[in-house]
With several copies, the nearest count.
Chain A
Amino acid sequence: MADDDAQTRPVPYRGGGFSARPMRSVGVLTFAALVAVWELGSRYGYISNLVLPAPSEVIEAFRDLWVSGTLWEHLGASLYRLVTGWSLGTIAGIAVGFAIGLFRPVRASAGPLVAAIFPIPKIALLPLFIIWFGIGEASKVGLILFGTFFPTVIATYGGVDNVDRTLVRMGQSFGLSRWEIARKILFPGALPAILSGMRITAAIAIILIVAAELIAAQRGIGAYIQMAGSLFATDQLIAGVLVLSALGLTVSALIGALELWLLRWRA
């Protein structure tokens, strides 16, 4: 009995840990601390402003952009190119992607073509676009259109291919026509893939706008960044980069909201 008592103990705990739950407040704090250290480092000369402007200088540069109204000019120019190129590329991409997903002959002929052109880094085509479409808006919009088209095609037909085939078979078993199956089963089923394709193409479009505006653009966030770079104005440069990131985050948030709403049926 004494022996038994000695051997009686709670089962040893060996679980816990490996959790992915974030600690949000610490993140914000780290961030704030980092910016503070950076600012102080710049103020007291530990960080040369040749290498990195102080946060306050970046804010100042941004304020200038804002107050002078050039921010809107640059943003407007970039947005025009982005929206036009991206919308056209996305619409065309979804149409072609669906054609590939639905019709075997289209898949057989257009599929490999798309697969072959897709991996070309679009940015390398910039000089070609300038030759084809000149140095005006057309080449910039065209580059973005081209850059968004192929990933959209691939996301769309990948989405169609990945729609659970039992759902298709279910549709057939209830006597639905091909067109009804395409509309009521394949399209909504491919929507998540199309939307996540949009997320990617939005990021691609922002990268391409920067590249496109390196050449022959007076207005545009990319042009502003390039100008700041060639003038060695790191404060303006970083301000411009931050504007771009904000643009990227906004677009991604918009697509996120769209997803949340359109895909509210998702588990």
Chain B
Amino acid sequence: MQLKLSGVGKSYGGLPVLSDISLDIASGEILCLVGPSGCGKSTLLRMIGGLELPDEGEILQVGAPPEGSLNPLTFIFQDFALLPWRSVAGNVSLALESHRAISRAERAAIIADVLSRTKLGDFANAWPKQLSGGMKQRVAIARALAVRPAVFLMDEPLSALDAQTRDILMDDLIELWSRERFTAVYVTHNLQEAVRLGHRIAILSRRPGKIRRIIGIDTPIGARTHQDPELLAIQEELWGLMREEAEAADKELTHG
């Protein structure tokens, strides 16, 4: 299954937030979205996931979702979005309960499987409050894996974590992709993340967000390292493109 955006635009109460976004996202591709604060990255992701309707243009899914996919477009949120009143297993279960076709036993099997794949096997009965940020995001990833999505929609999934945990989870994500070859739209502020994880990186301009540039990276994701000079050069280039806008966005007064 692929996604095809053409001429997508969105305004909130007269304020244009995104305009004329056209993108194709191929199957198995990770597309990173970067851009200054408030440029509409989250809004675009919500529209792709069907949580919001575009005012202009259309967002199409091309081709059938893979067989057995319970929720083709699945989000992973920055703040994890775990239900604090459910255990780790309960949170994963939430995504499965509404599917009548899955029996109790099947559900338990799926839960056990995704928890082990995200190294959470020992924490099935823990409350979210007992987990560190990194563990919480792992639960969210497990929950997403449970519904066998065609596309992951990730909105700054690592930005609430501290630097070291971020590094650890980044490696986990790369490992996961290498195994599962999922499709993903990955929103981030972190250019290092973008160059390590993206097949292509789309840079949005300040509000109203437009696509300024799309950069492709050829190095296979599994082969990328921290010190790869090519990646570092791309990162510098991206930073050069964005720095001025990021500085300006930072200096904006909020609430007038």
Contacts and interface: CB of A to CB of B under 8 A. Distances in A.
A266 B11 CA distance: 28
Contacts of B245: none
B51 A169 contact: yes
Contacts of B58: 10
B61 A8 contact: yes
Contacts of A267: 84, 129, 255
Interface string B34-72: 000000000000101111110000111111100000110
Contacts of B3: 11
A103 interface: no
B47 to A, nearest CB: 8
Nearest first, the 7 A-B pairs at minimum CB distance are: A15-B51, A170-B81, A267-B129, A173-B75, A265-B85, A11-B50, A188-B85
B25 to A, nearest CB: 12
A13 B53 contact: yes
Given A13-B50, A14-B50, A170 B62 contact: no
Interface of A: 4, 7-16, 164, 166-167, 169-177, 180, 184-185, 188-189, 191, 263-267
B60 A10 contact: yes
A265 B86 CA distance: 8
Interface of B: 3-4, 46, 48-53, 58-64, 70-71, 73-75, 77, 79, 81, 83-86, 94-95, 97-98, 127-129, 143, 147, 255
For A7, A167, A172, A175, the residue with the greatest tally of chain B CB atoms inside 10 Å of its CB is: A175
Nearest to A172: B51
Contacts of A266: 84, 129
Nearest to B79: A166
Contacts of A13: 50, 53
A61 B36 CA distance: 63
Contacts of B79: 166
B46 A9 contact: no
B63 A7 contact: yes
A265 B84 contact: yes
B49 A173 contact: yes
Contacts, number: 94
A174 B95 CA distance: 6
17 contacts: A8-B4, A8-B62, A11-B73, A166-B77, A170-B77, A170-B81, A172-B51, A173-B75, A174-B71, A174-B94, A175-B70, A180-B98, A188-B83, A191-B85, A265-B86, A265-B129, A266-B84
A8 B85 contact: no
Given A167-B81, A174-B95, A174-B98, A4 B51 contact: no
A13 B49 CA distance: 8
Contacts of A265: 84-86, 127-129
Contacts of B81: 164, 166-167, 169-170
B61 A9 contact: yes
Given A11-B49, A184-B94, 20 more contacts: A10-B61, A11-B50, A11-B60, A11-B73, A13-B53, A14-B51, A167-B83, A169-B51, A170-B75, A173-B49, A173-B71, A173-B75, A174-B94, A174-B98, A174-B143, A174-B147, A175-B71, A177-B98, A264-B127, A265-B84
Contacts of B255: 267
A75 to B, nearest CB: 36
B71 to A, nearest CB: 6
Contacts of B52: 15-16
Contacts of B97: 180, 184
Contact of B59 (A10, A164, A172, A264): A10
A16 B26 CA distance: 28
Given A11-B59, A170-B75, A184 B49 contact: no
Contacts of B86: 265
Given A180-B98, A188-B85, A265-B84, A15 B50 contact: yes
B46 A15 contact: yes
A12 B50 contact: yes
A264 B128 CA distance: 11
Contacts of B49: 11, 173
Contacts of A185: 83
Contact of A174 (B48, B74, B85, B128): B74
B16 to A, nearest CB: 20
A172 B62 CA distance: 22
A172 B49 CA distance: 10
